[in-house]
A = this chain, B = another copy of it.
Amino acid sequence: MQMKKVVLFLSLIGIISATNAQQALFGGPKVKSPEINPDNTVTLRIFAPNANEVTVTGDFLQPITSESNNDKIDRPEAVNLIKGEDGVWSYITPYPLPPELYMYSFNVDGLRMMDPANVYMNRDVATVTNIFLIDEPGSRAHNYRVNDVPHGTVSRVWYNSPGLDKNRRMTIYTPPGYEDSNDSYPVFYLLHGAGGDEEAWISLGRTAQILDNLIAQGKAEPMIVVMTNGNPSQEAAPGENSKGFIQPGMDISGMNAGEFETSFPDVINYVDKHYRTKADKAHRAIAGLSMGGFHSLHTSKLYPDLFDYIGLFSAAIFPFEGRDKAPVYQDFEGKLKTQFEKNPKLYFIAIGDKDFLYNDNVKFREILDSNGYPYEYFETPEGHIWKNWRIYLNEFAPKLFK
């Protein structure tokens, strides 16, 4: 009787729900996928009894060669799953995977689809992919997972930006202990790329996990991390603004006329007013990926007294022709000179050797070199991908505020 009631409860609450339609929604056979095997090979499975061909693609597929330098890795496009008698298709990687956060998606008879057995996904612009993590204690990827360490608080905060004439949303990480101390903290402004928004670094970038772990390991100082929305046309991420559930798309309003850079003090003013910050150059960092690297470069030289730490991750460097007329972008070398005369403590440039922005970064480093401006340079394999941006964050954050 007791068991019967528990079973009734389990079968009725939540999973199997109140309408026929919902029973159809919630039903379907279950398989385990992905399964991370003890040797770090991974098995992917999908129940598709009527399918003729099932393939999987993802960045877990081993590169065949990596000799080209054209922003490509020669990886198989996809590999085939094998059908079992039970209608379950499966694929097991013939090699153990190095610790990393991987993404993948299935293709069933030509139709791209998510893994129905895996609720973990990332959205990158308008594309959603499944993810899994290969973990190994001590590895970099171990910093991407939630570990049993003190955790910071992650808040979605609305602020008014007079410079953009909008109420706007940002994501703010405060470090463990913030709520229970009266200390003031340094602030790291962390900016996304084109097509991204204030959700990008916290989801795809694993910022909260990386910071929690680096701080717990004593590698990074406790700091506030502020992740803005870099698109001046937007109030907030798609679905989080008053335009409704619109399809996310590319947005390069952030590279138009310098409004993001000129209005950046609106963000800093809000943060310094509402959080216990060390509100000076020595305790302020700015870094970003791609368009966010562009923003970090141009904002930091526009306001040379604001940031002692600057990070360009796979950065766009030069404004589009015709858009370089905005005052922000004029006198590139003059502004840079002023900035470096003020001796920022760290100017950090990171890029993948196959990034399509590699040559622009070479050109930029030549400008820095020819003027004797000091910077740190960090080069990784591969291209313009989130894997690299997580690596750069994990590398950059420990260098701050020391």
Q: Which residues of A contact B (CB under 8 A)?
A: 1-2, 5-6, 8-10, 12-15, 17-22, 24-26, 28, 32, 46-51, 57-59, 61, 71-78, 103-105, 108-114, 116-121, 123-129, 131-133, 135, 145-148, 150-158, 167, 169, 176, 179, 193-196, 236, 238-242, 244-245, 247-248, 250, 252, 274, 290-291, 316, 320-323, 352, 354-356, 382-385
Q: Are B18 and A125 in contact (CB under 8 A)?
A: no
Residues in B with CB closer than 8 Å to A111 are: 46-48, 50-51, 108, 113, 116
Q: Are B133 and A238 in contact (CB under 8 A)?
A: no
Q: Nearest Cβ in chain B — how far from A394, in angstroms?
A: 18
A71 to B20, CA, bound (A): 9
Q: Nearest Cβ in chain B — how far from A88, in angstroms?
A: 12
Residues in B with CB closer than 8 Å to A123 are: 119
Number of copies: 2
A112 to B28, CA, bound (A): 8
Contacts A14-B124, A321-B1, A356-B12; A21 near B150 (Cβ below 8 A): no
Q: Are B114 and A320 in contact (CB under 8 A)?
A: no
Q: Are B14 and A109 in contact (CB under 8 A)?
A: no
Residues in B with CB closer than 8 Å to A167 are: 150-151
Q: Are B2 and A75 in contact (CB under 8 A)?
A: no
Q: Are A14 and B125 in contact (CB under 8 A)?
A: yes
Q: Are A125 and B244 in contact (CB under 8 A)?
A: no
Residues in B with CB closer than 8 Å to A17 are: 383-385
Out of B154, B274, B320, name the residue touching A179 (CB < 8 Å).
Answer: B274
Residues in B with CB closer than 8 Å to A76 are: 20-21
A–B pairs, 9, beta carbons within 8 Å: A12-B71, A13-B316, A18-B354, A20-B76, A28-B112, A48-B110, A50-B111, A119-B247, A154-B155
Q: Are A20 and B74 in contact (CB under 8 A)?
A: yes
Contacts A169-B151, A241-B146, A290-B14; A21 near B75 (Cβ below 8 A): yes
Q: Which residue of B lies closest to A63 (CB)?
A: B19
Q: Are B158 and A19 in contact (CB under 8 A)?
A: no
Residues in B with CB closer than 8 Å to A291 are: 13
